[in-house]
């Protein structure tokens, strides 16, 4: 009876294989003004920030909050 299939190294986590440098990120939370959303996001985007998600604010659901990330330098 054959045993389990041999591990061919496809899963670096299970095999313990070393993978290239892990990307490190920094994050920002930014309140969005409804009348200036595009301008705010464009400004942050020009500085290398990527929009991850927009959610309602914790105290006021009508106030939106943007979550952004960029690679740490």
Question: C-alpha 38: how far from its chain's center?
Answer: 20
> Domain 24-71 adopts which CATH fold?
Alpha-Beta Plaits (3.30.70)
Q: Which residues contact 53 (CB under 8 A, 6 or more apart)?
A: 66, 67
Inter-residue contact 31 to 57 (CB < 8 Å): yes
Q: Tell me what pLDDT residue 50 has.
A: 98
Looking at residue 3, its pLDDT comes to: 62
Q: Which of 42, 15, 21 is nearest to 30 (CA)?
A: 42
Dihedral over alpha carbons 23, 29, 33, 37 (to 10 degrees): 0
Domain range annotation of the chain:
24-71
Sheet containing 50-56: order of strands: 25-32, 64-71, 50-56
pLDDT tens track, the chain, 73 positions = 566 655 555 655 565 656 678 999 999 999 999 899 999 999 999 999 999 999 999 999 889 999 999 999 8
pTM above 0.75, yes or no: no
């Amino acid at each position: 009876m054959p045993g389990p299939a041999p591990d061919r190294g496809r899963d670096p986590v299970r095999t313990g294989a070393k993978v290239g440098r892990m990307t490190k990120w920094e994050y920002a939370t930014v309140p969005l003004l409804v009348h200036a959303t595009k301008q705010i996001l464009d400004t942050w985007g020009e500085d290398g920030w990527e929009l991850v998600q927009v959610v309602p604010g914790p105290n006021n659901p009508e106030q939106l909050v943007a979550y952004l990330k960029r690679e740490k330098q």
